[in-house]
Chain A
Amino acid sequence: MLDRDQVLHVARLARLELSEDEVQRMAGELSKVLDHIEKIRELDLDGVPPTSHVVDVVNALRDDQPRSSLPLERVLEAAPDPVAGGFGVPSPGAA
C-alpha cells in the first residue's frame, strides 16, 4: 500500500535518512501494519468527538512567577558543539 516514493517522502518529513535496504523493508512492514490498522476506518464513528484529553480537566494555570533556570554551563554540558554560550549547528547550506 505504501510505495517507495511515499516512504521516501515520509522519511524526508521525519528527517530520517534511510538506506536502500531500509526503504524496501519499511514499505513492506508499514503496509502490513497499516492494512491491519485500517479496519478501524470501517467503524461507524459519525458524531463521535475525538478524544482530546482522557481526564476531565479544564485549563491548568499557575501563577506567572519567575524562577531560576539551570545554569548555562550545565545545560551545555551534553551539547555536541557548544559555541559561545549556545548550541553550535552546521550551516543550513544551499538546501
Chain B
Amino acid sequence: MSEELLALTAADAAEEIRAGELSSQELFETYRGRAAAEDLNAYVWVHEGPSPEVPPSSRLGGVPLAIKDLFCTEGVPSQSGSRILEGYRPPYDATIVNRLTTAGAPLLGKTNQDEFAMGSSTENSAFGPTLNPWDRGRVPGGSSGGSAAAVGAGLAPWAIGTDTGGSIRQPAALCGIVGLKPTYGACSRYGMIAFASSLDQAGPLTRTVTDAALLLAEMVGQDPLDSTSLEFPEPIEVPRAEDLRGVVLGVPEELIGPEGGVEPGVRARFDHTIALAEELGAAIEPCRLPHAPHALSAYYLIAPAEASANLARFDGVRYGLRVDGQADLITMYGRTRAQGFGPEVKRRIMLGTYALSSGYYDAYYGTAQKVRTQIAEDFRAAFDRFDFIVTPTSPWTAFELGAKTNDPLAMYMNDFCTVPMSLAGIPAISIPAGLSEGLPVGFQLAGPAFSENRLLSTAFALEQAIGFDGSRARA
C-alpha cells in the first residue's frame, strides 16, 4: 500500500482523498513514517502527536507539506539552519504557512537549509548537510536543499522553500523535481526569517508542474502584514496546455555559453529539451541579455548588504543564543554573533557591511543597484519579442559533498543562470529535463512579472513531452 501511495503525485492524492478512496490520515502517517526514518538529513523536525484532521473537501485535500526551516511556524522549531536560533519556537505562523495549512496542507515537518538561506549546497546548515537522494555522496543543492531532497526522495508529497538568487530552482534541478520562484511580491514574506528582503520569495518545490500550480494558487495574494506583497492579477489555474504553438522562446547566449561553465552533459539535455519544445510548436531564437553576466557580481553586493542589515536583529536580546551575558553589552553582542553564526554567514555579513560602509556605499551598493536596473531592462526588452527566456537551471549536476566548500567564488557560480531573474523580480520555474550520467538536470523558463499562469502552462506541456521518471530516487 505504501508503495502505491508513494507513486501518487500530490494532486492525485488530493483527488483520491476527495473521492473518499484514501484517508488523509493514512497518507500523513505513511509520509510521517518515511520522514521520521529518513537518512538524508532532509528534515530538522518531524510532526509529533496525532495526525491532523483535515476536511477531505479542503482545497489541498489534506496532503501533508514539508516546510523550509526559515518559515516561522507557531510553537514549532524555526531555526533557519542556524545555531543562533537553535530551539527557537516562534509565537506566530508565517502568512504562507497559515494560508497553506488553512487550505488543507498540514505541516509534516521542517526541512534543512543553508544557514539563513546563504548557500547553494545545504552544507552551510548548523544541523549538518543534507544528502542528494540520487547519490548520497553529493549535495542536494541549496539553500532549500532539505525541501528538494524530501520531495525527490518521496519523504514529502510536496514542499515549500524560498528563493533569493536560485534557492528553490537550483536544488529542484539537482534533485530532479519542479521548483518555482514567483514574481517578487506575489507571495507574502511575513514570517519568513529574512535574508535579502528585496529578493526573497517563497515558492513551491513539487514532483510535478500541476502540484506546483496547486500550491501557488493558495500562496499568492496581498497581505496587510507585508507592504511589498501585491494582489495577484488573476487566479492561478491548473495548467493544461498540450502544445506550444505560438510560443516564442529566447535562448540567451550569455547564460548558456562557456562563461557560466555549463557542463557538456547539462548542455546536451538543454538542447534536447529545446528540440522537444520545437516539436511541440514553439519557435526558438537566440536572444541577448547583455548585462546578465554581471548579475552575480551585483547580487553578491546587494544580497549581503541587505543581509547585514536583516541579521542585525540576532544580538542575544529578544530570542535565540546569548553568550557572555555577564560582559558589557557590546562584548555580549560580538560574542553571541561570533558563536551563533557559521562561516558563510559571517563572510556575507562582513561583505555587506563593507559594501554599505561610509566611503564605499556608492562604489559598491550604488553601482550594484544600477546594474540591477540594466538587468531588468534587458529582460523587459527581451520580453517584447519573446514569451519566455530559457536556460539550464544550474551549470552543472549535483556535485560531491565538500567539493566547493573551500572556494566561495566557485560556490557562488551555482547561481549564474538563476540570479538574473531574481534581480529583475520576475518568475522562473525549473523542471527536470532528464539525466546526465545518472544525475538530474534542470531546465529553467523565465517570464515577465505575473506571467505565472502562462509559465506553468508552458512548463506543463514540456513536462509531458520530457516524461521524466524520478521514481529511482524514491526507492
Does A associate with B in a complex? Answer: yes
- Contact in complex: B346, A40 (CB < 8 Å): no
Can you list, as one digit per residue, whether each of A28-61 has a CB less than 8 Å from chain B (1) or not (0)?
A: 0110111011111101010011111111010010
Residues on A with beta carbons closer than 8 Å to the beta carbon of B335: 17
- Is B219 an interface position by the 8 A CB rule? no
- Contact in complex: A81, B325 (CB < 8 Å): yes
* Complex CA–CA separation, A92 to B332 (angstroms): 10
* Complex CA–CA separation, A62 to B223 (angstroms): 11
8 Å CB contact of A70 from B91, B291, B373: B91
- Is A90 an interface position by the 8 A CB rule? yes
- Contact in complex: A14, B338 (CB < 8 Å): no
- Is A91 an interface position by the 8 A CB rule? yes
What are 22 A-B residue pairs whose CB atoms fall within 8 Å in the complex? A9-B357, A13-B353, A14-B349, A15-B330, A30-B350, A33-B300, A36-B297, A37-B297, A37-B301, A39-B297, A45-B370, A51-B369, A52-B369, A54-B423, A60-B228, A74-B91, A75-B91, A77-B89, A78-B88, A80-B316, A94-B328, A95-B330
- Contact in complex: A90, B349 (CB < 8 Å): no
B interface secondary structure, majority: helix
* Complex CA–CA separation, A33 to B294 (angstroms): 14
- Is B245 an interface position by the 8 A CB rule? no
Closest B residue to A79 by beta carbon equals: B318
* Complex CA–CA separation, A90 to B423 (angstroms): 40
- Contact in complex: A50, B372 (CB < 8 Å): yes
Residues on B with beta carbons closer than 8 Å to the beta carbon of A16: 334, 337-338, 341, 346, 349-350
* Complex CA–CA separation, A75 to B88 (angstroms): 12
Residues on A with beta carbons closer than 8 Å to the beta carbon of B449: 55
B325 CB, min distance to chain A CBs, angstroms: 6
User: Which residues of B157-192 are within 8 A (CB) of A?
Assistant: 183-185
- Contact in complex: A93, B425 (CB < 8 Å): no
- Using a CB–CB cutoff of 8 Å, the interface residues on chain A facing chain B are 2, 6-7, 9-11, 13-19, 22, 26, 29-30, 32-34, 36-41, 43, 45, 48-55, 57, 60, 62, 70, 74-75, 77-81, 87, 89-95
- Contact in complex: B230, A55 (CB < 8 Å): yes
- Contact in complex: A78, B319 (CB < 8 Å): yes
- Contact in complex: B294, A14 (CB < 8 Å): no
8 Å CB contact of B354 from A2, A15, A22, A41: A2
Closest B residue to A45 by beta carbon equals: B370
* Complex CA–CA separation, A2 to B312 (angstroms): 23
- Contact in complex: A50, B319 (CB < 8 Å): no
8 Å CB contact of B408 from A13, A29, A45: A29
- Contact in complex: B373, A95 (CB < 8 Å): no
- Contact in complex: A90, B332 (CB < 8 Å): yes
Residues on A with beta carbons closer than 8 Å to the beta carbon of B19: none
Residues on A with beta carbons closer than 8 Å to the beta carbon of B354: 2, 6, 10, 30, 34
* Complex CA–CA separation, A32 to B412 (angstroms): 12
- Is B381 an interface position by the 8 A CB rule? no
8 Å CB contact of A17 from B89, B312, B338, B368: B338
Known interface pairs A62-B224, A79-B317; A13-B297 also in contact (CB < 8 Å)? no
- Contact in complex: A54, B224 (CB < 8 Å): no
- Is B37 an interface position by the 8 A CB rule? no
* Complex CA–CA separation, A45 to B316 (angstroms): 41
- Contact in complex: A89, B297 (CB < 8 Å): no
A75 CB, min distance to chain B CBs, angstroms: 6
Residues on A with beta carbons closer than 8 Å to the beta carbon of B153: none
Closest B residue to A87 by beta carbon equals: B317
Residues on B with beta carbons closer than 8 Å to the beta carbon of A91: 328-329
8 Å CB contact of B329 from A7, A40, A90: A90
Residues on A with beta carbons closer than 8 Å to the beta carbon of B88: 78
- Contact in complex: B371, A45 (CB < 8 Å): yes
Closest A residue to B315 by beta carbon equals: A15
A12 CB, min distance to chain B CBs, angstroms: 8
Closest A residue to B186 by beta carbon equals: A55
Q: A30-B351, A89-B317, A90-B326 are in contact. List 6 more A-B contacts (CB 8 A).
A: A13-B353, A15-B337, A17-B331, A26-B346, A40-B297, A48-B373
* Complex CA–CA separation, A5 to B199 (angstroms): 32
Known interface pairs A29-B347, A45-B367, A78-B319; A93-B330 also in contact (CB < 8 Å)? yes
- Contact in complex: A32, B346 (CB < 8 Å): no
* Complex CA–CA separation, A29 to B304 (angstroms): 14
Known interface pairs A55-B185, A87-B318; A39-B329 also in contact (CB < 8 Å)? no
* Complex CA–CA separation, A55 to B315 (angstroms): 32
- Contact in complex: B338, A79 (CB < 8 Å): no
- Is B128 an interface position by the 8 A CB rule? no
Known interface pairs A14-B350, A55-B184; A50-B329 also in contact (CB < 8 Å)? no
- Contact in complex: A41, B363 (CB < 8 Å): yes
